[in-house]
Amino acid sequence: MSSLDDLYRRVIMDHYQKPKHRGHFDESEAITVNMNNPTCGDRIQIQLKIEDGKIKDARFEGDGCSISMASASMMTDAIIGMDVEEAMKLKEIFLSMVQGMDYEQDEIDLGDIEALQGVSKFPSRVKCAALAWKAMERGVRL
């Protein structure tokens, strides 16, 4: 086990145990999307406040495995303050990364999200990692 794997595992567990932006907006004030991942049993709700093409704020709730919850915490943390376009680009990069495909590392600072790159070695977990991002995408398109 490399020390990089250890570092990534710590980052993931940190988001899982101390999630960021976990909570709930009044549904009249935010876009609300519920999604689940039946293969693992992960359930998630993503809420977005979008104004003038910008993601002003985001929250998530749900329960599921550490990968799905950590990913939601990282995702909400990353997209708050981004333009919708930028968030969609980050989503593409993220999905490529967890599927083990090539991605442009230099375009956006991935920050903690990079810790999930090891998921690409476990195809059954890709849906866990992708859940929050798919929900965010659906919300943006509503």
Confirm or reject binding of residue 40 to Zn ion (CB under 5 A). Answer: yes
Q: Of these, 55, 116, 128, 132, which contacts Zn ion (CB under 5 A)?
A: 128
- Reading the block at residue 15, the tokens are 């988001």
Bridge partners of residue 43, in order along the sequence: 36, 63
73, 20 Cβ separation under 8 angstroms: yes
**Phi, psi angles (nearest 5°) of residue 42:** -75, 135
| Of residues 42 and 59, the one with the C-beta less far from Zn ion | 42
Please name the residues in contact with 32: beta carbons below 8 A apart, sequence gap of 6 or more. 25, 45, 46, 47, 139
Binding mask 74-113 for Zn ion (x = CB under 5 A): ----------------------------------------
Q: Of these, 32, 45, 47, 68, which contacts Zn ion (CB under 5 A)?
A: 68
Read off the amino acid at residue 111: G
Confirm or reject binding of residue 42 to Zn ion (CB under 5 A). Answer: yes
DSSP codes, 122-133: -GGGHHHHHHHH
| Of residues 50 and 73, the one with the C-beta less far from Zn ion | 73
| Of residues 42 and 61, the one with the C-beta less far from Zn ion | 42
Residue numbers at the binding site for Zn ion (CB under 5 A) = 40, 42, 64-65, 68, 128
